[in-house]
Structure 1
Amino acid sequence: MTSPAAAKPAILSVDDDPGVSRAVVRDLRRRYGADYRILRAESGADALEALREMKLRGQPVAVLIADYRMPGMNGVEFLEQAMDLHPWARRVLLTAYADTNAAIEAINVVDLDHYLLKPWDPPEEKLYPVIDALLEAWRGDEHKPVTETKVVGHRWSARCSEVREFLARNQLPYRWYQVDEPEGARLLTAANATEDQCPVIINSTGDVLIMPTDAQLAEGVGLNTDASSDFYDLIVVGGGPAGLGAAVYGASEGLRTVLVERTATGGQAGQSSRIENYLGFPDGVSGAQLADRARRQAVKFGAELITAREVVALEACGAARVVKFADGGSVAAHSVLIATGVNYRHHPAPGVDEYTGRGVYYGSAMTEASDCAEKDVYIVGGANSAGQAAVFLSRRAATVHILVRGESLESSMSHYLIQQIEQIPNIKVHTRTEVTAADGDDHLERIVLRNNETGAEEKVDAERLFLFIGAAPETDWLDGMVKRDEAGYVLAGPDLMVDGEKPAGWELPRPPQHLETSVPGVFVAGDVRSESAKRVASAVGEGAMAVMLVHRWLAKQ
């Protein structure tokens, strides 16, 4: 009953009499078997289980035919429950002559489309014309099946927001359903889940994930979460532009390369709505498009990508460099590239933590863009990422307010973006301004703005607050292993030399190479490197350069 001809809509017959059941299916297959899956069940319970599976898999059901007199659950009771799963399926009740009154009453209970008297011989006169009409009516309705991943949850749930962002950033198509929508409720019923167990994720094969971790979610939707080998030539930690650049060049040059990413490839750049100053894209390219192309390019050359694995430690074990994961696993290689990039700084205003994921978002959170239509949106930050988000959101929002503490955008934003912003009438820049509080009920509803020049505060209505407030490296996992500067950025090459002296503990006769850290064979590239340029192009270039230095390192091993 769960055979995989998913492309065909189903016609399901339910009858507890095996002889009648086989006769129904025989007649239906003769006429409709080429275009429809003809299924049968011998009890209402079995039929409902089949319908649940089809609901989860996104398989359409065209017609339900149920016998009225069945023990345990009669035909009317079955059709009533089936409506909750497949409301667009046409419903037919099989009755004997003595049960016609019950069938007529059922029209009001389950919105019955037709009832058929048994026996119906010949089917060409009594069965097929009825089913033909029902199928024609069913095909005329809008009930396209949803075969991609489905996410069911609460509108203002922080975890639901994280799940949607995870799927979007990993370029995985999904459909979002709120629990208070009819289809969301039907999916929860099919999954045997409740509103308190959201988010509920149903993948394309119908498997149900209830409140999954990122690792469980990644595995459930088909992402690779485990290394296929114990040892590589190069481990790249971080899937931003620098890491992707290294994966492409490393794999294309024959290195056994594995890239480990905690959330999704692309890093902060992958969340940019449009990058217009990247070489070779005169019309601009979104960060997601750039990251997706780079990821596919790396895979084409043979790089292995691991997602949803958090790196917590780095060790040098003789000639091997070992990367350890939060779940206790590990992977080793001849060399390691640290390309973990940076994260947005935590905003200290009261209420921001409480409403993060429920109206407050770090970064662009493009899954929220469609809900910004005709609303006032507030963006905190004056760098390129904030400007790109403002331009993108201005297409739908009533007004986009950019809040910066400085006197202007000129010290932190590219000139081309400043010019664009000046030409968009619904973007307003508020200088010397910061957010001092956020509040609401189940989601963000208001923020407090302070003018740092006058000291005046103003409370404004706001359902969306996007934070782009500088960057901080998450490099605590390198404590005691790799030298960093006071801000936590990784030191490399010449920056490790003090008065011409090699760093403490460096035992090789040569000094560290340009992108090499204080541990030989461990390199760094991109935004996480101390004094880096903090641009996409430079990060990609450093990733490529690091591979050249890895080759030099391997040649001497």
Structure 2
Amino acid sequence: MAEAVDAARTVILTVDDDPAVSRAVARDLRRRYGDRYRVVRAESGESALEALRELKLRGSHVAVLLADYRMPRMNGVEFLEQALDLFPGARRVLLTAYADTGAAIDAINVVDLDHYLLKPWAPPEEKLYPVVDDLLESWRVTDGKETPTTKVVGHRWSARSSQIREFLARNQVPYRWYSSDEPEGRRLLHAAGQDGLRLPLVVTPDGTALVEPEERELAGRVGLSTTPAADFYDLVIVGGGPAGLGSAVYGASEGLRTVLVEREAIGGQAGQSSRIENYLGFPDGVSGAQLTDRARRQAVKFGAELLTARQVTALEVRGAARVLRFSDGSEVSAHCVILATGVSYRQLDVPGVTELTGRGVYYGSALTEAPACQGQDVYIAGGANSAGQAAMFLARGAKSVTLVVRGSSPAASMSHYLLQRVMESPVISVRTDTVVEAVHGTEHLEKLTLRNTVSGETEIVEAQWMFVFIGAAPLTDWLDGTVLRDPHGSVLTGPDLSPDGRPPAGWTLDRPPYHLETSVPGVFAAGDVRAESAKRVASAVGEGAMAVMLVHRYLEQS
């Protein structure tokens, strides 16, 4: 059943088959929005669709749809998919339990899901209202009209198509994926005057067709900032992971003119995590995408600029200025710099990997590729937290997930709570003392050669999907000759610069380097890129905040 509708006001519709939950959602929505919006409550997908049809006939507007995922006969995703035909501009929210977050992430591409909320949403002032406020504002800006969506046409086993999809997904740009051999994909290719030989094709919201676009061009076309608004800042942050975002929030909130520069996607590796469960204040866990989105919005609220798809290639000291040079030759300068570039996934160096990367072999793309792994046998190379989180996420839909671990046990590198869940999963198996010796395939991955490091025996297994998490290394070659690094490339800071008590070579100040300061005064490092860092999200955020405190101290004494 559904409550009677009223066409006089724009509608917020909620549907949940549990009457108590349905009433609770409607009650909380009416308390906040009842004076401006008509809140309509339904207890099944069918009755909700009937209400929407009546609203459509009356000429009403629907701003937001909130649907529970687990409903009999028609689940929340199926309801939202049909509701799209009636009110394509309505913002869409899925209410889920923790166990259903995988389905919610999959729904992002199925129904252009705007948000998913974990139940319970109490207190609504913190968990429900901020989300609905943002969605209503977004709906008002577009006058309730359908928001144009980026469209990507490519080949399923094209490495470049995979890279473009991952770039959009990690930057939280909504897009629709079309295979080049399906009718809609062929229609888009024809409309763009393309024969499909050059892929991917990206059609931006304004209708521009881009063939094999570079990330920076694509970023600018889909609304991401790529160019700094000024030439000089108080603080430039290089890297958009937890440490960089922490620095951006604290720098901008404390009055520093702040710009953050990210090479790939805001959020860094943490933004790709399907579930972070040991971060303070999130007892039910939080996805990397959710944490990243909140931090990004927080930084922007305080006035920080966030630039995407800009690669920094050099750091120079010019008097009191610290100058960063981009790959295109342009520059940006600041009083201080915080290096928060984190680390990048270490590449698997075995025969066949280079040719099949993006065509069955992936680094950190479990979220993007998960829908295609439904009912498949998946292999994951690695035994640390990133591998364990990916295994748990993929296990929700895959037929089987096999962790290939070099050591005798993943216990040495995987958090205890996560290892327990991995070992308890009926879908996940762990092969210890094993490495990937080679990968095989023509157009895509077909087989793996696995070698037991104890017996030396090898085995060839069928495989179409392998995700690689075999460690990470800092990408700091661009700092060569400027700041001191350890043999692994990590940036040395504070006491690690002068273990014998003497200042580092070239140090010109009459004080020792601050705790997070590099061998160049006014240049700081935070997070995973820093030598001897804790390699945890919480510590990276803390170091980002601490670095800003030291920036203030440096500026006061300069």
Q: TM-score, normalised by structure 2?
A: 0.74
Which is greater in Rg? Answer: 1
Summarize deviations over 1:400-424 as a string: whole Å, max 9, x none. 0001110101100000001111211
Give the counterpart letter for 2:279 in structure 1. Answer: Y
Residue 540 of structure 2 is aligned to residue 555 of structure 1: no
Quote the residue 2:481 is aligned against. 480
SS class of match (1:551):
helix
Counterparts of 2:466 and 2:187, CA distance in 1: 32
8 Å Cα contact 2:389-2:418 kept in structure 1: yes
Any unmatched runs of 5+ in structure 1?
Answer: 1-33, 36-57, 61-143
Task: Return the letter of the residue paired with 1:536.
Answer: V
Distance (whole Å) between structure 1 residues aligned to residue 210 and residue 366 of structure 2: 23
CA contact (8 A) 1:59 1:145 kept: no
- What secondary structure, in the 3-state scheme, does the structure 2 residue paired with 1:534 have? coil
How well do the aligned residues superpose, as a CA RMSD in angstroms? 1.7
Q: Spell out, residue by residue over 1:322-350, the C-alpha distance to the aligned partner (whole angstroms, 9 max, x if none).
A: 01000111100000000000011111110
What corresponds to 2:237 in structure 1?
236
Contact 1:434–1:451, Cα closer than 8 Å, also in 2? yes
* Residue 59 of structure 1: how far off its partner (Å): 13
Q: Matches of residues 484-495 of structure 1 in structure 2 within 5 Å?
A: 484-495=485-496
How far apart in 2 are the matches of 1:263 and 1:500?
Answer: 38
Partner of 2:507: 506
* Partner SS for 2:403: strand
8 Å contact from structure 1 (residues 404, 433) kept in 2 = yes
After the TM superposition, which of the residue ranges 494-503 and 535-544 deviates more from structure 2?
Answer: 494-503
Structure 2: how far apart are the matches of 1:441 and 1:350? 13
Secondary structure of 1:336's aligned partner:
strand
Cα deviation, 1:293-329, whole Å, max 9, x if unaligned, reads 1011100000000100000000000000001000111
Q: Distance in 1 between matches of 2:482 and 2:245?
A: 24
Deviation at residue 498 of structure 1 after TM alignment: 3.4
**Counterparts of 1:194 and 1:482 in 2: how far apart (Å)?**
49
1:379 to 2:380 alignment: yes
The corresponding residue for 1:448 is: 449
Q: Percent identity?
A: 66
Structure-to-structure mapping, 1:311-322, within 5 angstroms? 311-322=312-323
> Does the 8 A contact of 2:262 with 2:307 survive in 1?
yes
Mapped partners of 1:329, 1:418: distance in 2? 46
Deviations 1:359-391 (A, max 9, x none): 000113411100111111000111111100000
User: Using the alignment, how far apart are the partners of 1:524 and 1:196 within structure 2?
Assistant: 45
Aligned to 1:77: none
Mapped partners of 1:352, 1:198: distance in 2: 21
Offset from partner CA, 1:204-262 (integer Å, 9 cap, x none): 12111111101011011111000000000000000000000000000000000000001
Q: Deviations over 1:124-155 (max 9, x none)?
A: xxxxxxxxxxxxxxxxxxxx988311000111
The aligned residue for residue 425 of structure 1 is 426
Q: Determine the structure 1 residue equivalent to 2:308.
A: 307
Alignment of 1:122-161 (within 5 A): 147-161=148-162
The question of whether the paired residues in 2 share the 8 Å contact of 1:246 and 1:544 is answered with yes
Q: Which amino acid aligns with 2:189?
A: L
Secondary structure in 1 matching 2:193? coil
Alpha-carbon displacement from aligned partner over 1:444-489 (angstroms, at most 9, x marks no partner): 0111111111111111111111000111000000010000000000
Q: Is the 8 A contact 2:166 2:365 kept in 1?
A: no
* SS of equivalent to 1:239: coil
Structure 2 segments unaligned to the other structure (5+ residues): 1-57, 60-83, 87-144
The size of the alignment, in residue pairs, is 419
In 1, the alpha carbon distance for the partners of 2:267 and 2:373 equals 24
Q: Are the aligned partners of 1:322 and 1:332 in contact in 2 as well (CA < 8 Å)?
A: yes
Q: Where does residue 533 of structure 2 map in the other structure?
A: 532
TM-score normalised by length of structure 1: 0.74
Deviations 1:135-178 (A, max 9, x none): xxxxxxxxx98831100011111000000000000001000001
Deviations 1:253-274 (A, max 9, x none): 0000000001101111111100
Compared CA separation, residues 446 and 544, structure 1 to 2 (3 A)? same
On the 8 A contact 2:493/2:531 being kept in 1, the answer is yes
Which one-letter code corresponds to 2:153 in the other structure?
V
CA contact (8 A) 2:366 2:394 kept: no
The residue identity in structure 2 corresponding to 1:353 is: T
Determine whether 1:262 maps to 2:268: no
State the match for 2:359 in structure 1: 358
Paired position in structure 2 for 1:294: 295
Aligned position for 2:92: none
The Cα offsets for residues 5-50 of structure 1, whole Å up to 9 and x where unpaired, read as: xxxxxxxxxxxxxxxxxxxxxxxxxxxxx99xxxxxxxxxxxxxxx
**2:324 alignment counterpart:** 323
Q: Give yes or no for contact 1:272–1:364 (8 Å, CA) kept in 2.
A: no
Aligned letter for 1:222?
A: G
The change in CA–CA distance for 1:511 and 1:146 in structure 2 (over 3 A counts) is closer
Aligned to 2:334, what secondary structure does the other structure show?
A: strand
